[in-house]
A and B are shown apart, each in its own frame.
Chain A
Amino acid sequence: MDYKVLGLVAGIEIHQQLDTAEKLFCHCPTTLREIPEHNGEFFRYLRATVSEMGEIDRAALEEMKHHRKFQYYTYDSTCLVENDEEPPAPINDEALAICLTIGKMFGMVPVPQVHTMRKLVIDGSNTSGFQRTALVAFNGALPNGGEIETICLEEEAAQRVKDEVFSLDRLGIPLIEITTSPCMHTPEDVQKVAEYIGMVLRSTGRVKRGLGTIRQDVNISIANGARVEIKGVQELDLIAEVVKREVQRQQSLLELRAELCSRGASVSHDDDVTDLFRDTQSSVLKKAKKIRALLLKEFAGLVGREIQPERRLGSEMSDYAKKCGVGGIFHTDELPAYGVTEEEVASLRSHIGAGERDCVILVSGAGDKQAMCAIAQVAKRACIAFSDKPVPEETRKMLESGSTAYMRPLPGAARMYPETDVLPVLIDEARWASVTVPELLTVKAERFIKAFGIEKNYALQLAASDKLPLFDRAVKEGIKPKLAAFTLLSTLTELRRDGVDTRKITDAAYLRTLHAVEQEHAAKEAIPEIFRSIAAGSSFEEAISKLAPSVSRGELEAIVRKIIAERSDFIAQKGKAALGPLMGVVMAEVRGSVDGKIVSDILRKEIDAAASSRNS
């Protein structure tokens, strides 16, 4: 696909949690908790408020279509600020400092005075109904020639437990938001830029790691399409796929429009059809208090047409309807199904006056008001489909596969309101000058490759590892860099995956073990067993004496000779090829206490000797 011809323009926003001691506007720790640990609950209603310009944001209005009650879980690690029961503390200076560092790394200009704003978000994820955010720096550069437009320091939202229940442990963790200009033109560009920014962020050593600590929002449009913001892409590998699928969706919507227009499609009337389904077997319709139908003239076959894997125009209509609190919609392109019979479809079509080329939408609600609200939403989406702008500007959420679902209209500037409870912070020249820039991980890795001869893969891992200071110390103490790196990155990781509690292996135990190997008191091969033993509670001395009893060269030679003597037939048969199998036998005997290379040297010599004595 030629994305240049399609006019693909994309930009990204990267949201990365910062690894600070305290939250952005209170003094709670930034640790995540398990849901069963919550020690209290409360609930609130949120209402859209007007901006200081006197307007209500369109995204907020959409969230207000039905009255929503939000429930929140509190912890012994959250406080009244998260509960929206106490004014915020001054902005966390540690978090601001990290933002300034990152700003400097991208060659940005800091804002002379940082003002905290309230960004209206009334989906329940913030107890206050807004997310506090401050613009910290702007005008940065990317290596591909693109631009970092802004860096903002924001508070993380509460984690959704399910439906309208939220957990407050995450709320308020500092988050850096990095926004690029719309400077990318292929799906791969987008992925590459996201990877680069991620690497820069990790280079500070001050960002949180692990799933959910970084999220990408992608802004995409194609020629004749519209800007769509896709929120919450957590896996970097999916970014290119998300972009591809959005391009496909916008193209499909443009094609749908052409077909609808050529057919002369229109949105006709709607009606109460509750009585038609009085005896229905459909479990959804059976529960409904009110069922309404909407006639879409000349829409047949198009509501059910796929516009993106697993997504149809009908899915878009359904998402719009859900804003009124209904579970979704049925449409005649997919009926009879879901317990709705052919007879019921026929009577529905005849009742509303639908011809073969028309599509009928069914909405079931808890009451007339809800059903009417949902029908109005579906009608709105249907009209958009054949309008001059068939791709609506939207905020969408990523589904697991990389397809997306509608969330709300794109918000405007009306959602911003000054946070009157937080004083502005001056970034003067002296402060900006004092910001130091850390070495990039890629540069650091390059240095490790050159200086220590470590493989690129390990070098990159090592550069990003929080164990780097321990590695430096080991090398300084004379441990071979390869051994130190391999043990830190590979051995410890494998043990951890195996369920070994590697936190019990102290830095001192790690260093003493490596020294023992370097001094040939223990074999490299014994390291995992020594660590296992220490993790299980042994002291370093116990582990070494148990797993690496010192064996003198003389003792080793005696052991080797004894083994060879017991297996003389095997050696006669295999000759030099006996070396491999016998290595295992000797290593088992000395329980890994001798380096494999020494064993193989002696073994080879003794096999040769045995062979020559037989020949002589």
Chain B
Amino acid sequence: MAVVKLDSGYNIGVAPGSCRVTGHPEPALGKNTDVEQDHKLPTLSIVSTGGTIASRIDYRTGSVTSQFNANDILIAIPELADIANYRTIPLATILSENMTPAIWQDLARAVHDEIRDGARGIIVTHGTDTMAYSAAALSFMIDTPVPIVFVGSQRSADRPSSDNTMNAVCAAAAATSDLGEVAVVMHATTSDDICSIHRGTRVRKMHTSRRDAFRSLDISPIGEIGYPSRKVTLGPHAVLRETHSLALHDKIEPHCALVQFYPGMSPDLLKAYEGYKGLIIAGTGLGHVSTALIPALGRLITGGTLVVMTSQCMHGRVCDRVYDTGRDLLAAGVIEGGDMLPEAALVKLMWVLANENNREKAAALMQSDLKGECMRRSAYGL
């Protein structure tokens, strides 16, 4: 079907043979009004991985526009100009489900360079689907003295009700705040009142579509930003600005996997992971798989795969010392993953295995807290 736009603005679909192209309109040139930036304000760098913040449909191609510069963003969200001046780095224009560990590395390098070059804070615009993975990746790959804030929108930027504006404004406020770690800033509630600041290694997208989909699990958010006041309040557990010196650890081992156990799962499936350097299991309850799977896991471990157990419960800590199956898993060489989220554990495993060749040391690292991902105490309930 050919899509025809009528004078009234309505589109209709008609059979391609039933209409004739009589000409092409002049391409509409975007109005290029330059927005003045206030250079007395702090400088923030916006690194874009897929323009969810200022995107709109390109009617000529039917796709989302990929142009991305500070000007576009400031035209779309004028409130940002009151907070900072901006440098923009268009790193990638991908849907976040197409994110890869290789792009995490590019992202980490770009962010590192921006901080080195004096950015007061970093905003990473990112699709929400895998934002938590990328935030975890940067948490491990960069020691940062400044805030690195991931932000996106759950409701597309081309709708008047989009959460993009408020999220971006709150992200900029967080990026100029006293925070000194990798965080995700998104709506805290369904209303346009507060954004939460989540630690990059403890955050998870918990809803497919709601604005307040992002939640900190087993930890309270590390801060919040009021809207429209833009007042940033950091929690006592937030890592503050300048706590760490800048360092880049950009090695990553992509041959790692995450597999969710389910009742009746065939041990044959695990053969696919032979040769993998690491495997995270999202087990049931306290961290279990069926007895039938344990020999297959044992073979993987013997073959050199580091296998770490997490729980599909999301909340709570793994303990393989309570039931027989758990003890059998430990005996087979499975490492308990503490209270790590399965996704954060996967990213951490990729990072640990790229940076530590010694299996025992790598296993010990997996059970240590590096960036708030693996807490020693379970202080926070559901």
Interface residues of A (CB under 8 A from B): 42-54, 60, 67, 69, 80, 83-87, 111-115, 117-120, 122, 127-130, 133-135, 150, 152, 412-418, 420, 424, 426
Contact = CB atoms under 8 A, between A and B. Distances in A.
B358 interface: no
Nearest to B14: A112
B9 A415 contact: yes
B161 A84 contact: yes
Contacts of B11: 115, 117, 135, 416, 418
A47 B165 CA distance: 9
Interface stretch (B184-192, B305-313, B321-329, B364-372): B184-192
A50 B161 CA distance: 13
B192 A120 contact: no
A113 B12 contact: yes
A48 B9 contact: no
Contacts of A52: 56-59
A229 B55 CA distance: 33
Most buried by A among B59, B159, B162, B228: B159
A130 B159 contact: yes
B13 interface: yes
Contacts of B379: none
Nearest to B208: A86
Nearest to B163: A44
Contacts of B59: 52-53, 418
A40 to B, nearest CB: 9
B269 interface: no
B166 interface: yes
Contact of B159 (A42, A45, A128, A412): A128
Interface string B180-209: 000000000111110000000000000011
A112 B160 contact: no
B51 to A, nearest CB: 15
Interface of B: 1, 3, 6-15, 18, 28, 30-31, 56-59, 155-162, 165-166, 189-193, 208-211, 228
A402 B241 CA distance: 64
Nearest to A136: B12
28 contacts: A43-B192, A44-B161, A44-B191, A44-B192, A45-B192, A46-B161, A47-B160, A49-B56, A50-B56, A52-B59, A53-B28, A54-B31, A85-B155, A85-B190, A111-B13, A112-B1, A112-B13, A112-B14, A113-B14, A114-B13, A122-B160, A135-B6, A413-B7, A414-B9, A415-B9, A418-B11, A418-B57, A418-B59
A497 to B, nearest CB: 43
A162 to B, nearest CB: 19
Given A122-B160, A129-B161, A130-B159, A115 B9 contact: no
Contacts of A69: 192
Nearest to B165: A47
A424 B191 contact: no
A355 to B, nearest CB: 42
Contacts of A122: 160
B160 A120 contact: yes
A426 to B, nearest CB: 8
Given A122-B160, A129-B160, A424 B1 contact: yes
B243 to A, nearest CB: 35
CB-CB nearest 4 A-B residue pairs: A129-B160, A113-B13, A416-B9, A413-B9
A43 B227 CA distance: 12
A42 B18 CA distance: 48
A86 B209 contact: yes
Contacts of A417: 57, 158
Given A52-B56, A112-B1, A128 B9 contact: no
B8 A413 contact: yes
Contacts of A111: 12-13
Contacts of A118: 159
Contact of A416 (B8, B160, B165, B208): B8
B315 to A, nearest CB: 23
Contacts, number: 121
A111 B13 CA distance: 7
Most buried by B among A52, A117, A118: A52
A45 B9 contact: no
Given A52-B59, A113-B13, A416-B8, A46 B209 contact: no
A54 B9 contact: no
B218 to A, nearest CB: 25
Contacts of A46: 160-161
B28 A420 contact: no
A207 B218 CA distance: 51
A418 B6 CA distance: 12
A85 B228 CA distance: 21
Contacts of B191: 42-44
Contact of B166 (A45, A150, A415): A45
Contacts of A119: 9
Contacts of A54: 28, 30-31
A131 to B, nearest CB: 11
Most buried by B among A113, A129, A420: A113
B1 A83 contact: no
Contacts of B10: 115, 117, 133-135, 150, 152, 416
B95 to A, nearest CB: 14
Contacts of A127: 161
Contact of B158 (A49, A80, A415): A49
Contacts of B12: 111-115, 135
Contacts of A152: 10
Contacts of B1: 112-113, 424, 426
Contact of B3 (A83, A115, A129, A130): A115
A47 B162 CA distance: 8
Nearest to A152: B10
Nearest to A110: B12
A150 B12 CA distance: 12
Nearest to A45: B192
A410 to B, nearest CB: 12
A80 B165 CA distance: 21
B379 to A, nearest CB: 30
Most buried by A among B8, B15, B59, B211: B8
A424 B160 contact: no
Nearest to A111: B12
Given A50-B56, A115-B3, A413-B7, 12 more contacts: A44-B192, A45-B165, A45-B166, A67-B228, A115-B11, A122-B160, A129-B159, A416-B9, A416-B10, A417-B57, A417-B158, A418-B57
B4 to A, nearest CB: 9
A426 B57 CA distance: 23
A395 to B, nearest CB: 15
Contacts of A120: 160
